[in-house]
Amino acid sequence: MDIRRDYFLLWLMLVYLTIIVFSLGAHFALFVSRRCYMPRRRRKEKRWMNFLKENGRDAILSEHQIRMLRNDIELAAWSDALFQYKEEGGDYCLFIKRNAEQLSRLGILIKREVIRAYYAYIITRINADGKIQSRELKALMKVYLQDGHSVYLRENALKAIYSFREPAGIVQAWLILSKRGLYHDSKLLGNDLTDFPGDIRLLTTLLMSRYSDLEENFKIALINTLRQHKIVTFNKRLELELYKKSVSIDIKCCVIRLLGVDAGNYVQVLTEMLAIYMNRENWEPAAVAAIALKSAPSQQGRQYLFEALTSRYWHVRKNVALTLAHYGVTEEEKNSVMNGSDRYAADALSWALSQ
């Protein structure tokens, strides 16, 4: 038994030693690779910079160079050189134009999605001023949208399409993603759309013309963008969404917020939403409508707000009370609520008036 135990302990020590040796080896390899990475990248960047400067307007990527650029370090060095070339006043637009087919082929030859996402990011960054217009690169980004499994790839490809500042191309991109039915965060979509530096009115008009073909989160992003840019052209059309059972609560809330931009013309609709949803389990439209009425004081609105102050839901009562406090409450109205039977309503109004 003692011999077996000794052998077991010896085997255990060998296992521990092996793990320690491999761990030290891995750390050493990582240390060496880090020390070598930046010098290698700087050398490659310098070589690409020389290529761009020496060839100038006639710089054309060879087949060998395209194969080289499939390597991530080579691609990073090339992109850094291209950005520097741009900053120094080089004709980067002509370089992209003359090499559009080669750059498109490179994008197809890159197989790893993480590198494809990086390649799309490079295109977005180099085209930050929107001066590059390349049919080949636009088509490549649409391929990325159609085939990409990674959300990072799809988001970067969409950003690259935005950088071309072509409304029709953006509409096509949204339709591609909507048709695929993959989840995309409405806030991220809305941020990109809101920050679009081109003709936002033309873009939103084109998107609204295909509204029924868009997936829900894209609709939310579009409606929120209309609100942020105070575009009320489509309010009458979107108002109809509020009365459709098939439309989600999220979209209805977005539409109510949009109508709140022009609340004076939609008091009737907003008070209806307040009355319909104030005691429903999905109470959110009532809470949003209460805030939307804030910018349009009216006798009709006051009447519905005082009724909604008795809602079963705290968020509705809170928003209603805040709007009433914003309107201004007479002593008689205040006493009527405070001396009433609904203590929750009295507490909500008392809290709002103290703010």
What average pLDDT does this structure show over 30-58? Answer: 75
Q: What global pTM score does this model have?
A: 0.84
Last residue of a domain, one of 176, 209, 231: 231
Residue 59, both tokens: 């710089």
What would the pLDDT profile of 253-303 be if each residue is shown by its tens digit? 999 999 999 999 999 999 999 999 999 999 999 999 999 999 988 888 899
pLDDT, residue 59, reads 87
Q: What is the pLDDT of residue 117?
A: 97
pLDDT at position 35 is: 53
Which residues have a Cβ under 8 Å from the Cβ of 278 and sit 6 or more positions away? 286, 307, 308, 311, 313, 316
Is the predicted pLDDT of residue 213 greater than 90, yes or no?
yes
3-state class (DSSP) for residue 34: helix
With respect to residue 277, please indicate whether it lies within any of the assigned structural domains.
Answer: yes
**Cα–Cα distance for residue pair 116/24, rounded to 1 Å:** 33
- pLDDT-based confidence at 12, cuts 50/70/90? confident
The string of DSSP letters for 62-104 reads -HHHHHHTTSHHHHHHHHHHHHHHHHTT--HHHHHHHTHHHHH
- Closest C-alpha among 47, 102, 101, 107 to residue 78: 47
Residue 354: closest CA among 325, 328, 327: 325
Same domain, 102 and 204: no
Whether 27 is in a domain gets the answer no
Domain that holds residue 216: 165-231
Last residue of a domain, one of 180, 197, 231: 231
pLDDT above 70 covers a percentage of the chain that reads 93
Amino acid at 198: G
How confident is the model over 113-122, as a mean pLDDT?
Answer: 97
Task: Determine, yes or no, domain membership for 25.
Answer: no
The structure tokens listed for 8 are 């077991």
Number of domains in the chain: 3
Mean pLDDT lowest among 21-25, 58-62, 149-153, 337-341: 21-25
Residue 33's pLDDT is 52
Res 28 pLDDT > 70: no
At residue 334, the pLDDT reads 80
pLDDT tens figures, 38-51: 677 788 889 999 99
Q: With respect to residue 153, please indicate whether it lies within any of the assigned structural domains.
A: yes
Q: Are residues 140 and 205 in the same domain?
A: no
Which of 162, 196, 218 corresponds to the end of one domain? Answer: 162
Lowest mean pLDDT among 49-58, 296-305, 336-345: 336-345
Tens digit of each residue's pLDDT (9 = 90 or more) over 171-212: 999 999 999 998 889 998 999 999 999 999 999 999 999 999
pLDDT, residue 26, reads 63
Mark whether 138 and 181 lie in a shared domain: no
* Cα–Cα distance, 221 to 294 (Å, whole number): 23
Residue 150 inside a domain? The answer is: yes
Query: Looking at the structure, do residues 200 and 157 belong to the same domain, yes or no?
Result: no
- The mean pLDDT of the chain is 90
pLDDT surpassing 60 at residue 30: no
